[in-house]
């Protein structure tokens, strides 16, 4: 029970971090702020840096608790979509490709579970449609 409470609190904190990332706009001044918070999220919750994004494509029970959490699915997709745009703008297309694969992985999990569509679901659909094409 204590471990479950700890994990729930940790997921709640991840939600706050993701909200902070999503609130950062695409202004030049905010680029370094987004970079900082995204890297901080990767370090704090997934124990990786942005050079190790491919690790999130591998199954790992501890990391997947946060990455594939049903409650965090939309926020994770939105944050990683924003990161994909960021890396494309920075000319780091390989990182953007890895992030697109991470988004696909997140999107596949629990995709068969029906939920009534929310406004956030609409944002996610729009964000996915606007993802950069990296052919």
Position of tokens 């704090």?
44
Alpha carbon dihedral 6, 11, 15, 20, in 10-degree steps, equals: 70
Residue 66: closest CA among 75, 1, 35 = 75
| pLDDT tens-digit readout, 116-130 | 788 888 888 888 888
Residue 31 token pair: 């680029």
pLDDT given at position 134: 67
The larger pLDDT score, comparing residue 113 to residue 54, is at: 54
**Region 45-51: what's the mean pLDDT?**
94
CA 93 to chain centre: 17
Q: How much is the pTM?
A: 0.79
Q: What is the rounded distance in angstroms from the CA atom of residue 20 to the CA atom of residue 22?
A: 5
| Per-residue pLDDT, 112 | 67
Using an 8 Å Cβ cutoff, are 86 and 31 in contact? yes
- pLDDT tens digits for 12-41? 777 777 777 767 665 555 567 888 889 999
Q: Which of 111 and 63 is assigned the larger pLDDT? A: 63
CA distances from 80 to 66, 93, 116, 121 (A): 13, 14, 23, 15
Q: Does residue 8 carry a pLDDT above 80?
A: no
Contact 50, 42 (CB under 8 A): yes
């Amino acid at each position: 029970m204590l471990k479950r409470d700890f994990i729930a609190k940790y997921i709640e904190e991840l939600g706050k971090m993701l909200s902070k990332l999503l609130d950062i706009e695409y202004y030049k001044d905010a680029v370094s702020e987004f970079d900082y918070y995204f890297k901080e999220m990767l370090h704090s919750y997934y124990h990786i840096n942005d050079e190790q994004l491919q690790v999130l494509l591998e199954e790992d029970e501890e990391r997947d608790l946060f990455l594939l959490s049903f409650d965090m699915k939309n926020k994770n997709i939105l944050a990683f979509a924003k990161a994909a745009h960021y890396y494309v703008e920075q000319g780091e297309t390989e990182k953007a490709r890895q992030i697109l694969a991470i988004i696909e992985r997140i999107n596949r999990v629990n995709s068969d579970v029906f939920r009534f569509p929310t406004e956030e679901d609409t944002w996610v659909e729009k964000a996915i449609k606007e993802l950069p094409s990296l052919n």
